[in-house]
A and B are shown apart, each in its own frame.
Chain A
Amino acid sequence: MAIRLDYVLKETGSNLVRNLTLTLASLLTVAIALAFVAVSFLIGTGINQSFLGLRSDVQMFVYMNPGATADQIDSVNKSLESNPQVESVKFLDKEKTYAEFKRLFADQPDFVESINPEELPQSFRVKPTSTDADVVSAVGTEFENMTGVYRVEYAEEYARQVQKSLSTLNSWVRLFGVALIFVSVLLIFNTIRTAVFARRREIEVMRLVGASNWFIRLPFMTEGMVQGLLGALAAAGLTWGFDALWKRNFVNQVSFELLNQIKWTGGDLWKAIIMILVVGAVTGAVGSGIAVGRYLRV
């Protein structure tokens, strides 16, 4: 026996309209919950990316005295390269340092003008093998007392603090996201269960006249899927709005030291939206299938 498509569509449509208030109420809750899921995914992604960016940034600067001799520079370079804790070394000579300096202070041409390139310290940029702040500072102190070294700087304290607070924030956001997915699933499931309960007489009659279980189940499943998808679409709109607001208010805004680090790409936004569409549709359909199942036991 073939299940007629027009029958399934008619049933799905008329049930969504018949329970309009219930449908709307559940759509709204599902939309909000799924929007939170997407937003927490984006923030989590953003934190992870800034976290990773920070990690590869944990480096150390060994500044030479402006008057250091070529021999002194060469000797520091050799001991850096032979140090097992050092992954890579990059030397910035006077020219490169000046170029970098010009880049950093591009908005202050007067200041750049006033500096003589000869006065800028040459430096080594060192990437240690470990990102552990303790290891980094241990390597640093080794070079502090070498001849010709002006001083060693590292992002130690700042890096340590930011790392810690971001990873705490990230785990909270993740936990929140997981909890909200769970809530969304329960909400869809519950709405469909109410709809199934409202139509238990119809289901009873269908069983009596010999409708197959799939025939009874299918309109409920498409109904649940449509509800989940509609809720997810609304959630996608909310997420898109959040993305725009976040970009306008935080990203690249100097006044938000920590928040401006949290950013994500357009691809991440699409990933989040597709994720909630799939979660909405699948939980809607599967939830309805389960909800109607208890009325189908022979």
Chain B
Amino acid sequence: MIKLENVSKIYKGEHMALRDATVEIEKGEFVFLVGPSGSGKSTFLRLLNREETAEKGKIYVAGKDIAALPGYKVPYLRRNIGSVFQDFKLLPNKTVAENVAFALEAIGRPKSVIREAVPQILELVGLGRKEGSMPNELSGGEQQRVSIARAFVNRPLILLADEPTGNLDPATSVGIMKLLDRINRTGTTVVMATHDRGIVDTMRRRVIELDRGSVVRDQARGVYE
């Protein structure tokens, strides 16, 4: 599903955010990216949906060399990749349902589809009764559920999560992880960058550790360190 071959990413000609990384992730896998701040976890994720482009090496997503995609096709790549962030990135002036519907409107889905899909996904993430709430009326955990609903409502093949529990307390984080696990069980590949030792050690999934841009460990059913 995802393949990196000797990928290097250099910012401003000097700082090497990723160094000769080679990684292969199968369809349906759940992968933790761990490592200290600045080790290249976010860069790794941003390369996959072409927010960034690599200076060296090849990146394949769903069998396609994404560096070769012309600019106008990049949106179609992103429709297959959901993204979740530490700061949720919800639109503050839209309700929960509108935030989720926005993701479908933005890719031109018809209204009939939106009317059906939005309540369904909100039910799945456990926010069936909050569809009319504004983001600032929700707890952090609930806001993250909205953002996961938005990322998943289009049923992407891949879900990228950049420290999704970074702003949440441990109890809330467990709920979010259960949700991501559930999404992973539908066959969606999940790649999650995290600092949360407890989560990694509990879930015992594949762990890729980065240090100063290099892959220093790639371990099935791994732990934080």
Q: Which residues of A does B touch, CB under 8 Å?
A: 1-4, 7, 201-202, 204-213, 215-216, 298
Contact = CB atoms under 8 A, between A and B. Distances in A.
Contacts of B150: 205, 209
Interface string B70-91: 0110111111110100000101
B50 interface: yes
Contacts of B77: 210
B78 A212 contact: no
Interface in B43-88: 49-50, 71-72, 74-81, 83
A209 B89 contact: no
B45 to A, nearest CB: 12
Contact of B79 (A7, A201, A209): A209
Contacts of A209: 78-79, 102-103, 106-107, 150-151, 154
A216 B106 CA distance: 8
Interface of B: 49-50, 71-72, 74-81, 83, 89, 91, 102-103, 105-108, 110, 150-151, 154
Contacts of B80: 210
Contact of A205 (B49, B102, B110): B102
A7 B75 contact: no
A212 B78 CA distance: 10
Contact of B89 (A1, A208, A215): A208
Given A2-B108, A204-B89, A211-B106, 16 more contacts: A1-B107, A3-B108, A4-B110, A7-B105, A202-B91, A205-B150, A207-B78, A208-B49, A209-B78, A209-B106, A209-B107, A210-B77, A210-B154, A211-B75, A213-B71, A298-B74
Looking at A7, A212, A213, A298, the one whose CB has the most chain B CB atoms below 10 A away is A298
Contacts of B110: 4
Nearest to A4: B108
B76 to A, nearest CB: 7
Contacts of B75: 207, 210-213
Nearest to B89: A205
A210 B91 CA distance: 16
Contacts of A298: 50, 71, 74
25 contacts: A2-B108, A3-B108, A4-B108, A4-B110, A201-B91, A202-B91, A202-B102, A205-B103, A205-B150, A208-B83, A209-B78, A209-B154, A210-B75, A210-B78, A210-B80, A210-B107, A211-B75, A212-B75, A213-B71, A213-B72, A215-B106, A215-B107, A216-B106, A298-B50, A298-B71
Contacts of A201: 89, 91
A215 B72 CA distance: 11
Contacts of B74: 298
Contacts of A1: 107-108
A210 B78 CA distance: 5
